[in-house]
Structure 1
Amino acid sequence: MKLIYQGKTKDVYSLADGNILLKFKDDVTGEDGVFDPGANQVGLQIEGAGQAGLRLTKYFFEILRDKGIPTHYIDANVENAEMIVKPATMFGNGLEVICRYRAVGSFLRRYGMYAKEGQSLDGFVEVTLKDDERNDPPISADGLDMLGILTLKEYEEMKQLTLTVSEVVKIELAKKGIELYDIKLEFGRIGEKGEVMLIDEISGGNMRAYKDGVYIEPLELEKLIVS
């Protein structure tokens, strides 16, 4: 296999059969040695973080596969912290799509004039550009279309997939008495027809989840869901 990209929390390799191997690392994002899933830099290493992230990702991707929801997932080896996926083309230099069920984080910072902390939201979907230099600015569907990043049709497909996937995750967490506040997803074009599909991962570092009003750390969330 050939290394094609080194990311903050995963390394990406191309395989001889044309598929892609993602190697999950124990590096996690944060600042000053404190874990923060929303940070744009690696802040520390947590032993077992790579395996934990993959274990939860495998769990959710296989549920989605059973439901016929399109993703890039093929297989995973948790012990080796490796996941094999279909090759995908990113939208521009990458997008992050957030589905929000509670007003927290950057949503509250932006819209605090109107929103109250923890206010219920009905699956609010927003898109940001993956751009560390500009702090991942939010962008509208029209902006994405005008800049040639994706079409309005692709945006609508991505939005509907976001709502579908997020609802699946929300329901699974609720089975354990856990409430999903928000989740960050990524999408790409896959196959000859460029079908819009879910890519990357679904781990504790990509969501805010609470139990009895208390925030659950990503590694603890994996234990609660998968064990």
Structure 2
Amino acid sequence: MEKRGILYEGKAKQLFETTEPDVLWVTYKNQATAGNGAKKETIAGKGELNNQITSLIFEKLKEKGIPSHFIERLSDTDQAIEKVEMFPLEVVIRNVAAGSFSRRLDVEEGKDLPFPVLEFYLKEDALNDPLINDDHVLALELAAEEEVAELKKQARHINQALISLFKQAGIRLVDFKLEFGKTKEGTIILADEISPDTCRLWDLKTNDSLDKDVFRQDRGDIIPLYQEVLNRLNQL
């Protein structure tokens, strides 16, 4: 398989066509962003770590019977993935009150929620990825009713798998963002990435951040933290 022309470039990844029509080539970038791109910085080694962490997590989920678009890790910064039609949605699962949830609803950060709270966000940079509900998804024709139900079902199942995985690594899964796509056969599967860029991860004993919040809040270097997450997952 060979890499061809670029299809898309986002904040953290580049997407390329390949010589195989149903396979895409993803390159993870060293760019860190926050505030919908308002804060931006190149951080050496970040792309490599996110690629390795995401690849490892997708492999662990596959072992648990959870499919994704991930095919294989090609290099330190590159993956091969199945070509899917992406839903223009972010599905966020919150297990613990933190971040925008705490600010919006005046809930003490770090409080365990009585059940995992699921939220939809519209993927639209111009609108700053607004929070939307099921009716918005249906009214805007972003997904059909049965697809919304399937997205929720899969997200909650993935949450339970990830809680268990991270707990084994001594990590508390506070909240995280998922994206999904449809295969050419119409099957909905997990896509995009799962990394400290897309998850809020706290050390199980100290509650110290092991994720991009450290960059968002100017609290230090994220590379040792991302490396710590990878090291712990590799030991499982």
Superposed pair shares fold, TM > 0.5: yes
- The count of aligned residue pairs is 213
Indicate if the aligned counterparts of 1:104 and 1:117 stay in contact, CA closer than 8 A: yes
Q: Name the CA shift for 1:29/1:223 in 2 (closer, same or farther; >3 Å).
A: farther
1:76 is the counterpart of 2:84: no
- Secondary structure of the residue aligned to 2:169 is coil
Cα-to-partner distance string for 1:7-66 (whole Å, 9 max, x where unaligned): 111100011111111111111113xxxxxxxx3116111111111001111111111112
Counterpart in the other structure of 2:143: 150
Separation in 1, partners of 2:92, 2:197: 13
- Secondary structure of the residue aligned to 1:171 is helix
Match of 1:182 among 163, 175, 180: 175
Deviation at 1:176, TM superposition (A): 2.0
Q: TM-score, normalised by structure 1?
A: 0.89
1:118 is the counterpart of 2:121: no
Give the percent of matched residue pairs that are identical in Structure 1 and Structure 2: 31
Indicate if the aligned counterparts of 1:184 and 1:206 stay in contact, CA closer than 8 A: yes
Equivalences for residues 162-201 of structure 1 within 5 A: 162-192=155-185, 194-201=186-193
Note the residue ranges of structure 1 that are not aligned, 5 or more in a row: 31-38
Match of 1:222 among 185, 206, 230: 230
Separation in 2, partners of 1:45, 1:226: 26
Counterpart in the other structure of 2:13: 10
1:95 is the counterpart of 2:89: yes
Extract structure 1 runs of 4+ deviating beyond 6 A. none
Separation in 1, partners of 2:28, 2:50: 8
Separation in 2, partners of 1:214, 1:63: 24
The AA in structure 2 aligned to 1:72 is: H
Counterpart in the other structure of 2:27: 23
Counterpart in the other structure of 1:46: 43
Separation in 2, partners of 1:70, 1:172: 16
Cα-to-partner distance string for 1:72-121 (whole Å, 9 max, x where unaligned): 11111242x11111111122xx2111110111111112211xx3322212
Indicate if the aligned counterparts of 1:72 and 1:198 stay in contact, CA closer than 8 A: yes
- Secondary structure of the residue aligned to 2:65 is coil
Indicate if the aligned counterparts of 1:55 and 1:226 stay in contact, CA closer than 8 A: no
Indicate if the aligned counterparts of 1:204 and 1:222 stay in contact, CA closer than 8 A: no
Separation in 2, partners of 1:116, 1:6: 37
